[in-house]
Amino acid sequence: MSKLNSQEDRRLVCIWSTGYWLAMAFLAVTVTACYKLPTPAATTMNPETFPQPIPQDIIRVPENPPPFVTANQTFVIIDGVPMYRIGPGDVLDILVTRGATQEKIQAVVRANGRISIFLIEVNVDGLTAEQAASEIARGLSRFFKQPSVDVSVKEYNSKKISILGTIGLTGRGAVLPLTGRTTLIEAIARVGGFGPNARTEEIRITRGDKAYTVNMFQYLQDAERTQDVILDAGDTILIPERTRDEEQRVFVLGEVKSPGAVPFRPRMTVGQLVAQVGGWTDGARIHEARVIRADPKNPEIIGIDLNRLVLDGDRRIDQHLRPNDIVFIPRTYIADWNAYMAQLRPTFEFFSLPFQPIFTIKALEK
């Protein structure tokens, strides 16, 4: 009888244990479903939502962008399709059909915009290939019955642009013929792209007596179509080269796998920078990382919890960086950041950063 009681007790314990853990699992699922990430504390650079607005001193939108056009000397849009405009110097292939007879004629557009074909002269300057074919057929209809004409451009010689500066293909410059509606990024791709030191945010375009500044970095980052200029005949494009003194950097120091200087890119964030240098080491106190901003007018130390940002994926607390910012990940607890920065001052001076006066940096607590 005692044995039966023992088995019964074990059975009851098993049932109770199973029920207990099922209840705990249900409670855990319920709590998890109701849990929300806490709202991050806001600072001057850390609002409650991300992405943050980009400071205007980092991304500058040109004040005089070139106008967006749907037609110019090079092309015109017909039925939604951009068509090339023929001009002096272009070479045309002309196929004339008269009944069962076909003749292929090659004609060069003269300086006055006219071509000679059979017994007639036709002005084709500024016309599309289809429009030129219609004009030629109309002229030939005086001598032939219902002639059919097809026109194509064999050589594009009438409209050219010049690209100067640091480009990928030649490194110095190139002259390109325009074969229709051509945008700035398309033209740069044809010459091999930007050179490695191109200052893409300040490309200059000279058109007649006007000059424009185009921020192609903004276009590449944000697909900002207003910055992808439609080019016209005679445009001169200058892509300036960024000198060593002009190159902007940010720095990542402390417990990271690849400490040092990293080229600054507008819209760069702490999360992107940490990923770019390979992450942190095993001994890093990632919840105590700091963005050190040595602005002489408003020096700051901004706390950022990389555990929450990277591991928990809470991008709301990410930080946009500025040139010369330092992201520092400590190994040990730091009670007095101002005193600690003073100890690291020789390291910062090695990177030629403006840490004067270092003792006045204000720590912003989270």
**In 3D, which of 298, 305, 349 has the Cα closest to residue 327?**
305
Amino acid present at 343: Q
The full length of the chain comes to 366
Q: Which tokens is 188 given? A: 């740069």
Rounded CA-CA distance 354/293 in Å is 10
284 — pLDDT class (breaks 50, 70, 90): confident
Q: Which tokens is 290 given? A: 């700091």
Identify the pLDDT of residue 357.
36
Q: How far is CA 172 from CA 178, 228, 353, in A?
A: 19, 22, 33
Average pLDDT in the 3-21 region?
A: 51
Identify the pLDDT of residue 245.
58
Rounded CA-CA distance 59/266 in Å is 7
Q: What is the DSSP string of 231-284?
A: P-TT-EEEEPBPPGGG--EEEEEESBSS-EEEE--TT-BHHHHHHHTT-B-TT-
Average pLDDT in the 287-295 region?
A: 80
Amino acid present at 247: E
Q: What is the DSSP string of 116-141?
A: EETTEEEE-TT--HHHHHHHHHHHHT
CATH of 75-155, one of 3.30.1950, 1.10.10, 3.20.20, 3.30.1360: 3.30.1950
- For the chain, the average pLDDT equals 76
Identify the pLDDT of residue 254.
84
CB proximity list for 78: less than 8 A, separation 6 or greater: 128, 130
pLDDT in tens, 138-164: 999 988 888 999 999 999 999 999 999
CB proximity list for 247: less than 8 A, separation 6 or greater: 197, 263
| CATH number for the domain formed by residue range(s) 160-244 | 3.10.560.10
Rounded CA-CA distance 93/115 in Å is 12
Residues of the chain with CATH 3.30.1950: 75-155
Q: Report strand pairing: 300-304 vs 362-364.
A: parallel
pLDDT in tens, 81-102: 999 999 999 999 999 998 888 9
| CATH number for the domain formed by residue range(s) 248-364 | 3.10.560.10
**Burial class of residue 132, CB neighbours in 10 A (0-12, 13-18, 19+):** buried
Residues of the chain with CATH 3.10.560.10: 160-244, 248-364
Average pLDDT in the 257-277 region?
A: 83
Average pLDDT in the 31-43 region?
A: 40
324 — pLDDT class (breaks 50, 70, 90): confident
Task: Scan for tokens 């190994």, then name that residue.
Answer: 331
Average pLDDT in the 170-191 region?
A: 88
Cβ distance 174 to 166 under 8 Å?
no
Average pLDDT in the 207-222 region?
A: 80
